[in-house]
Copies of this chain bind each other. A is one copy, B any other.
């Protein structure tokens, strides 16, 4: 059995920038360089634009549902940027911005939200697993992908995302334990946005922090200010690199806040008031980073325009993609159930085809 040493998180979430964008003592955490921060900032702006555009498309009735990460973009960005090319990202339904930051075509991501099909992108193309809906289940898949890679001698690291609520599920426990026992290089990254739909964190756990769950598995736990994009990136990069070097998992909890309702279908006025939400506006991850980069003269006016245009291009691409007719064929209902369809499915496919052809008459 290991020692306690290094398994417990810091007393408070680590930070590199305060809410005014002023650098603070990071307790040993190193500020990423300017090039990297600019990259992160670009990704933040695009992430925000993706969130806003998706929200607008929902309001226009063009998407059925969208769980927004508005306010959590520092986590989204950090999760994607901390990975190397061969690494894997395991996102949830809320992590669309991270999926896009990782390189997946936003229009492919929208497949699910348009109701065209389930997972809309090729998970192998960018090593991004399908966005997970059944909570915490994907964390075990991440362990399996990591273990398979390790068995083949590859140095792949897996970034596995989940929310605060999902930490209550049995699969969270089993995933951390399996990863620790098998020394599977998975970074479990919990975005603690204080709510699981309507349920606040205090009803979810009585632990000092979610990062304190690590020691129970022998997994080092860390806490970071989830609205400080510099700190999130630095913490996740450190976690990824240490997982890569010693093969062991890491648990990182980012403290952030869900600024909007759970999804458009939710009514958050039933369980929280604006007095609680408003102060978080001042902790916005974009403005904080922007202030810092402007002060450092890394973010010029020209650069800012360029980034805004890039974000606008993504939004336009989303609008155009949603408008495009991508209706799936009913015949496809039967083609992916098995590699090799059963006689029963062939019969049922023929039945439907016949029904449709008769309707056609």
Residues of A at under 8 Å CB distance from B?
1-4, 7-8, 168-174, 177, 180-181, 202-209, 212-219
A21: shortest Cβ distance to chain B, in Å?
27
Instruction: State A219–B216 Cα separation when bound (angstroms).
Output: 12
Instruction: State A170–B169 Cα separation when bound (angstroms).
Output: 7
Decide: A208 near B217, CB < 8 A? Known: A171-B170, A174-B170: no
- Contacting residues, chain B, for A171 (C-beta < 8 A): 170
Which chain B residue shows the least CB distance to A202? B1
Which chain B residue shows the least CB distance to A7? B208
Structural contact, A1 and B216, CB atoms closer than 8 A: no
A108: shortest Cβ distance to chain B, in Å?
33
Structural contact, B1 and A208, CB atoms closer than 8 A: yes
Structural contact, B172 and A208, CB atoms closer than 8 A: no
Decide: A207 near B218, CB < 8 A? Known: A4-B8, A173-B172, A174-B170: yes
A179: shortest Cβ distance to chain B, in Å?
9
Instruction: State A81–B297 Cα separation when bound (angstroms).
Output: 71
- Contacting residues, chain B, for A8 (C-beta < 8 A): 4
- Contacting residues, chain B, for A169 (C-beta < 8 A): 170, 174
- Contacting residues, chain B, for A217 (C-beta < 8 A): 205-207, 213
Structural contact, A181 and B205, CB atoms closer than 8 A: yes
Which chain B residue shows the least CB distance to A251? B216
The copy count of this chain in the complex is 2
Structural contact, B208 and A212, CB atoms closer than 8 A: no
Which chain B residue shows the least CB distance to A249? B206
Structural contact, B168 and A208, CB atoms closer than 8 A: no
A53: shortest Cβ distance to chain B, in Å?
36
> Which of A171, A172, A177, A209 lies at the interface centre, i.e. has the most chain B CB atoms within 10 A of its CB?
A177
- Contacting residues, chain B, for A180 (C-beta < 8 A): 205-207
Decide: A3 near B208, CB < 8 A? Known: A168-B174, A170-B173, A177-B168: yes
Structural contact, B208 and A4, CB atoms closer than 8 A: yes
A176: shortest Cβ distance to chain B, in Å?
9
Which chain B residue shows the least CB distance to A175? B170
What 20 additional pairs, Cβ within 8 angstroms, besides A170-B173, A207-B216, A212-B216?
A1-B206, A1-B209, A3-B208, A7-B208, A168-B173, A168-B177, A169-B174, A170-B174, A177-B205, A180-B205, A180-B206, A180-B207, A181-B205, A206-B217, A207-B217, A207-B218, A212-B215, A213-B216, A213-B217, A216-B216
Among B173, B206, B219, contact of A181 (Cβ-Cβ < 8 Å): B206
Which chain B residue shows the least CB distance to A183? B206
Question: Mind listing 26 A-B residue pairs with CB under 8 Å?
Answer: A1-B202, A1-B206, A1-B207, A3-B208, A4-B8, A4-B208, A4-B212, A168-B173, A168-B177, A169-B174, A170-B170, A173-B173, A173-B174, A177-B205, A180-B207, A181-B204, A181-B205, A181-B206, A205-B217, A205-B218, A206-B217, A206-B219, A208-B215, A212-B216, A215-B215, A216-B216
- Contacting residues, chain B, for A168 (C-beta < 8 A): 173-174, 177
Q: Which 3 residue pairs spanning A and B have beta carbons closest together?
A: A170-B170, A206-B218, A173-B173
Instruction: State A181–B206 Cα separation when bound (angstroms).
Output: 6
Which chain B residue shows the least CB distance to A2? B208
- Contacting residues, chain B, for A219 (C-beta < 8 A): 206
